[in-house]
Amino acid sequence: AEDILRVEGLTMRFTGGAGLFGRRNRATVTAVDDVDLVVRRGETLGLVGESGCGKTTLGRCILRAHKPTAGRLVYRRADGTEVDLAALSRAELRPLRTEIRTVFQDPNSSLNPRMTVQQIVAEPLIVNNLASGSEVKDRVGEALRRCGLRPELMRRYPHAFSGGERQRIGIARALVTEPRLVVADEAVSALDVSVRSQILNLLEDLQDELGLTYVFISHDLSVIQHLCDRVAVMYLGRIVEEAETEDLFERPRHPYSEALLRSVPRPDPRLRRRDDVLPAGEIATPDQAFTGCRFQPRCRYAVDLCAQVEPATVPRCHLAGELELDGVYTTI
């Protein structure tokens, strides 16, 4: 499939004001550090890693909620023309905001309790001048129906709905503008396990029906395994491994991926091993002069070279290909 988005050398740096790291250090954090990534049209690409690894920041850069410090975000429009989202002004971004949409994490806090479902879902249509009059209502009804909700309920307020239904409303709001690319950050994490797989199935059905491309950000590997075609594993601002989902789960190539897979609780305690826990370590620290591999302080395979030289290519491990790493299957 052709690319819909190429992330090239993307870097996002934040300089902390007083408060972020205490008064004295106005530290700089490089949340995303020189990331290259391709998103193919029609696929679901997973971004996985622990909190603080930069996956949310990368997603927010793609949505242009952040203006990247450096690098390019080359988006291919339906007519084949390419634009660099990173270089566009607010005004230039406007028409693209309907094509690239997000589903928020927590349906409880992302839906305005004082607005009816109709107003909530209609908002992006109205803000972007995509429809007016009775067409708005028709399109809202259609989006709700697609998401498995009865359009008759659109006069109600969010509190009248369950958590799963509220997330369906959130998805309807994302889809009402007929986007091509949807960035979903922890879109099912706030939901009960029983509701989670229903929402994941809905996302899959909508993708088939509408030809959507998803960038799906999650720390939850079982969700990633369920939904994604390919996965990029992030660690301290870097992508350390990129693989087809099945390959990653069966044969991880980076020790961090292996550690992540092992840290998934296994249902059967007899299968647990003593090393089934990710070694503790600092994450999301202010910029240090990194020398060597960023995972080295936590890596059980580290050799002398690892502390001195950072692996230059993905998978970012000097020993990639030499190590026999374990994968673990999980299912939801």
Alpha helical stretches, state H, 211-244: 221-227
Whole-angstrom Cα distance, residue 68 to residue 35? Answer: 11
Find the shortest distance in angstroms from Cβ 318 to ligand SF4: 4
- 84's enclosing H/E stretch is strand 82-84
User: Residue 173 or residue 294: which is nearer to ligand SF4 going by CB?
Assistant: 294
Whole-angstrom Cα distance, residue 106 to residue 299? Answer: 33
Alpha helical stretches, state H, the chain: 55-62, 90-93, 107-110, 117-127, 134-146, 163-175, 193-210, 221-227, 245-250, 255-262
User: Residue 58 or residue 293: which is nearer to ligand SF4 going by CB?
Assistant: 293
Residues 240-259 that bind ligand SF4 (CB under 6 A): 255
User: Residue 29 or residue 306: which is nearer to ligand SF4 going by CB?
Assistant: 306
Find the shortest distance in angstroms from Cβ 127 to ligand SF4: 45
Q: Does 260 bind ligand SF4 (CB under 6 A)?
A: no
Query: Is the CB of residue 13 less than 8 Å from the CB of residue 57?
Result: no
CA dihedral 15, 16, 21, 27 (to 10 degrees): 20
User: Residue 14 or residue 301: which is nearer to ligand SF4 going by CB?
Assistant: 301
Q: Does 301 bind ligand SF4 (CB under 6 A)?
A: yes
Query: Is the CB of residue 218 less than 8 Å from the CB of residue 224?
Result: yes
Q: Does 235 bind ligand SF4 (CB under 6 A)?
A: no
Query: Is the CB of residue 100 less than 8 Å from the CB of residue 73?
Result: no
Q: Does 158 bind ligand SF4 (CB under 6 A)?
A: no
Q: Does 317 bind ligand SF4 (CB under 6 A)?
A: yes
From residue 259, give the alpha-carbon distance in Å to each of 145, 298, 300.
41, 10, 9
Q: Does 262 bind ligand SF4 (CB under 6 A)?
A: no
Q: Does 49 bind ligand SF4 (CB under 6 A)?
A: no
User: Residue 179 or residue 255: which is nearer to ligand SF4 going by CB?
Assistant: 255
User: Among 13-21, 47-55, 116-124, 317-325, which window interacts with ligand SF4 (CB under 6 A)?
Assistant: 317-325
Q: Does 44 bind ligand SF4 (CB under 6 A)?
A: no
User: Among 74-82, 185-193, 218-226, 288-296, which window interacts with ligand SF4 (CB under 6 A)?
Assistant: 288-296
